[in-house]
């Protein structure tokens, strides 16, 4: 990444989060004040009705940073890929 001010990350969505957002993935530039999973969700909710629907109950949306499960308060750090998805239902 060129600078810290313009952080380019890949967002990926699964299951009903993907269906509500309407995209499987997208590349975005994060504003400076988006520093945690929680603040990223807050920012995403402003981006349109699909996003606000997907994150209407943020406590049921799970997140992973570079493919590792994380809690909402986790700082984004130098992450490259952020995933949002419902609780898992495999097995």
Partner 1 sequence: MPVRVQVDDFDVTAETERLVGGRKDIGAIVTFTGRVRGEDDGRQVAALTLEHYPGMTETEMASIEAEAMARWPLQAALMVHRVGEMKAGDNIVLVITASAHRSAAFEAAEFLMDYLKTRAPFWKKETTPDGGSAWVEARAGDEDAADRWR
Query: Taking the complex as a whole, how short is the minimal distance between the CB of residue 90 and partner 1, in angstroms?
Result: 3
* Interaction of residue 86 with partner 1, rule CB under 8 A: yes
Q: Is 91 in the site for partner 1 (CB under 8 A)?
A: yes
Taking the least distance from each CB to partner 1, the nearer of 1 and 15 is 15
Which residues, other chains included, contact 17 with Cβ-Cβ below 8 Å and sequence gap of 6+? 54, 61, 84, 85, 86
Piece in contact with partner 1 (CB under 8 A), picked from 29-37, 44-52, 60-68, 70-78 = 60-68
């Amino acid at each position: 990444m060129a600078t810290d001010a313009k952080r380019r990350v890949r967002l990926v969505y699964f299951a009903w989060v993907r269906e509500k957002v309407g995209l499987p993935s997208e590349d975005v530039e994060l504003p400076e004040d988006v520093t945690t999973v929680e603040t990223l969700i807050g920012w995403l909710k402003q981006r349109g009705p699909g996003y606000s629907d997907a994150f209407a109950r943020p406590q049921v949306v799970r997140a992973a940073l570079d493919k590792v499960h994380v809690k909402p308060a986790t700082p984004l750090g130098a992450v490259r890929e952020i995933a949002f998805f419902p609780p898992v239902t495999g097995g």
